[in-house]
Amino acid sequence: MNADKFNEIINFAVARERDAVEFYQDLQKKAKFKAQKEMLKELENMEKGHIITLNKLRKKGFAIVSEKKEVPDLKISNYIVNVATSENMTYQDILIVAMKREEASKNLYTDLAARLESREAQQVFQRLAQEEASHKLKFEKLYDEQVLKDN
């Protein structure tokens, strides 16, 4: 892979992570409870960490990436309809939007990893996909424990 293509991929991924940071900042403004805001702040910080990782990758080349671990998928987001963000979002709405968004990010990084020739680049994007899957799992567990239990 040439340097231009590599930087193009990194730029695209950084832009997606910045969108995620802004998304979680916006959701924090809409959340009604302190615990919700804290959870969203934690996820915002994780997305900021991805930006740092990607920028280090750009500057220093491929670092040693930990081995891929399987993240369970409760598949809850597969069976629910996405909702639009609004000022009057319920906790359930926030969880649905967040699950769907994390799922899309996971799929993006998985697809990028599959398209790259460099094994090191594949590992970086597989690791990012794994982290996004972990975020999705966190939201799915909250949904299962706090929304589905009431239904």
Structural domains present in the chain: 3-150 (1.20.1260.10)
Distances (CA, A) of 23 to 40, 85, 94: 10, 10, 11
Query: Mind listing the pLDDT tens digit of every residue in the chain (151 residues)?
Result: 667 777 888 898 899 999 999 988 998 888 878 888 888 898 899 889 889 988 887 787 665 455 667 888 888 888 888 888 877 778 888 889 889 988 998 998 899 889 888 787 788 788 889 988 998 998 899 999 988 886 6
Closest of 17, 14, 15 to residue 55, by C-alpha: 14
Amino acid residing at 111:
D
Q: Quick one: DSSP state of residue 88?
A: T
